[in-house]
Structure 1
Amino acid sequence: FDRKFQANVTRERSYSKQGQMLTEDENIIEVPLTVQYKISDLQAFVLNVEDPEASLQHATDSAVRHVVGSTAMDQVLTEGREAMAGEVKERLQRFLDNYGTGIIVTQVNLQSAAAPREVQEAFDDVIRAREDEQRAQNQAQQYSNQIIPEARGESQRQIEQANAYREEVIAEATGNASRFDQLLVEYQKAPEVTRQRLYIEAVEDVMTASTKIMIDVEGGNNMLYLPLDKIMEQNGSGLGGASSTQDLRALAEQLSPYMPSANNNSNSIDRSRVPTNTRGVR
């Protein structure tokens, strides 16, 4: 034998490395890692490769750069390190097997990556900006989740109100049409009576909401002013309060001088019945 080599194949060895690498999104970061390995085949370890540990270092560097270069910076810095460590171990073991180094990788630990010291401040600004962006997106999503159900509820409420209004209008129009048909039948039976009744009902509707009446005097430019509210107050009751027969009769007696005479076809007022203290309004 020219040379004798002995090694403890059960002892676990380690190799540490740290270097600057470029991520998939073109950011430079410092990636420290530790590789733990054992000698699985002493003969291959001694004879196949001149310097197996140097081959391990080169293979580690190649595997890490490949994995980091295909991963975004956020994944390298946060929760993606564990998955990256598994991928580096698998790729590194494949390289070592191809070289025939007789080395088996037991563990790859990727430690916390960071930006180079020269750009750490700018790197921190980018991180804060991304955090602000994510926070704004979360707030916008929260507002969207809040406002959309409210808008849908308001939309449904307006639709229901519109449907109710439509039904109300249709029912009212149907009722008016039915009343008109009934009125037409009565008008065909007695036109004059029906016209008079419609006129009286219209005047009643107008007078109910009026507190003062102006009466035109035929043959002159004066108008007679009837303050109904004052007359009702003098009778001891407000407007609309003359509920007794005596009050209604007293009010009719006070208004009778201003009404056209039943025997007068010209609808003029009998001025001889008007009290002398009544003042005309021009």
Structure 2
Amino acid sequence: MAWNEPGGGDKDPWGNRGGNNDGPPDLDEALKKLQEKLGGIFGGKSGGSGNGGSSKGLGGLLIGAIVIASIFYVISGVYQVDEKERAVVLQFGAFSEIKQPGLRWNAPLITEVFVENVTEERQYPSRGLMLTEDESIVELPITVQYNVSDVKAYVLNVRDPEVSLRHAADSALRHVVGSTELEQVLSEGRGKIAEEVEDRLQQYLDSYGTGIMVRDVNIQEGRPPEEVRAAFDDVIKAKEDEERLKNEAQAYANAVVPAARGTSQRMLEEAEAYKAEVVSRAEGETERFLNLLAEYQKAPEVTRQRLYIESMEEVMSKSSKVMVDVEGGNNMMYLPIDKLMESNSASQGGRGNATLTQEQLRQISDYVARQLGRTNTTYREGR
């Protein structure tokens, strides 16, 4: 039954038991009652006039302090996790959870929060003297780029992950350089060394459980110690000169060898062409001789005369002398055409080529005709 229903009597929920049901009591009165109860708990007397007043003041201060402390307690537990960060929460020293980005709150003194940046690319530069495989000392600078891949392992597994990273990087670098010759360290072998160092360093960090991911390892130019730098510079210069001369020799070979190959190929092709020409000519001569033999067998005398005439024509066409053979006689007429041409050239003063004019040719023809006529007449009279 509700207190305000008929027959409910004087059941006032605000403590008004005097029968004066005019409404709820004043808030100041309720606070005073609370102060009196707290004062009784801490040894105060609610009935005294003087001591009761001091007890009430002390209780009020205590309540205010508790309220203020509660406010500070709540505020101190509020924190912000950025987009690049993750928060590891420990409750009573044991892992509880990983907080994602946003405004978070954890109870102080009960929980402990570690906020770490998990996307930032961090760097660790290092340099030092180390011994190579061929027992040479070299100074090799190195830069390791990394970030946090497992924030829980980064916070809980290793006391100081940065120190572990430095020790592991130095150990991996010295191990790889110790198995590499000095020439490779100072020249083109640095890329391979960086890859081996990165793989070995990642293996070390994974075995430690650091939660660190190695992104890249950059090895800068290796340097010898200062005491022997001049000698190393001379060696490097000599190697550069050797490489330059090799490149020049290779360029010369690239220019000469193709030309020689082209010349040899051309000579081979010319030889093949000459061979084909000679064979074809020989085959043609053989075919012509066989045809001539067949004609000779049919008419030996005619063929013999024709061959003689063709042979003499071929031979005498290249000579400047003309010899006329008279049939049935023992005399042979000689026409010194070369002398005639020389005399003609001398008469012209040595200018131009030695050629016969039409008049001179006509005179020579007449002379030859007269001589032939006389020879034939003498031959007939003798008979």
Name the structure 2 match of 1:104: 212
CA contact (8 A) 1:24 1:68 kept: yes
Considering only CA atoms, is the larger Rg found in Structure 1 or Structure 2? Answer: 2
Given candidates 116, 119, 130, the residue that maps to 1:10 is 116
Name the structure 2 match of 1:141: 250
Name the structure 1 match of 2:98: none
CA contact (8 A) 2:158 2:208 kept: no
Question: Could you tell me the TM-score, scaled by structure 2's length?
Answer: 0.49
Structure 1 unmatched ranges of 5 or more: 1-5, 216-223, 265-269, 271-282
Q: Partners of 1:182 and 1:34 in 2: how far apart? A: 95
Deviation at 1:138, TM superposition (A): 2.5
CA contact (8 A) 1:23 1:73 kept: yes
Q: What are the equivalent positions in structure 2 for 1:163-182 lying under 5 Å apart?
A: 163-182=272-291
State the one-letter code of the partner of 2:158: F
Given candidates 214, 227, 249, the residue that maps to 2:365 is 249
Given candidates 155, 161, 171, the residue that maps to 2:264 is 155
Given candidates 158, 166, 171, the residue that maps to 1:45 is 158
Name the structure 2 match of 1:227: 336
Deviations 1:109-143 (A, max 9, x none): 43332122222222222222222232233333333
Structure 2 unmatched ranges of 5 or more: 1-111, 325-332, 346-352
SS of equivalent residue, structure 1 residue 10: strand
Name the structure 2 match of 1:218: none
Deviation at 1:62, TM superposition (A): 1.9
Q: Partners of 1:206 and 1:254 in 2: how far apart? A: 26
State the one-letter code of the partner of 1:22: L
Closer, same or farther: CA 172–243 of 1 in aligned 2, 3 Å: farther
SS of equivalent residue, structure 2 residue 288: helix
SS of equivalent residue, structure 1 residue 134: helix
SS of equivalent residue, structure 2 residue 280: helix
Residue 183 in structure 1 maps to residue 292 in structure 2 = yes
Corresponding pairs, count: 248
SS of equivalent residue, structure 1 residue 21: strand
Q: Partners of 2:179 and 2:376 in 1: how far apart? A: 106
Deviations 1:58-112 (A, max 9, x none): 4333210122234455654456546544542442343344456x47365654333
State the one-letter code of the partner of 1:249: S
Question: Could you tell me the TM-score, scaled by structure 1's length?
Answer: 0.63
Closer, same or farther: CA 189–76 of 1 in aligned 2, 3 Å: same
Closer, same or farther: CA 262–9 of 1 in aligned 2, 3 Å: farther
CA contact (8 A) 2:186 2:221 kept: yes
Q: What are the equivalent positions in structure 2 for 1:118-137 lying under 5 Å apart?
A: 118-137=227-246
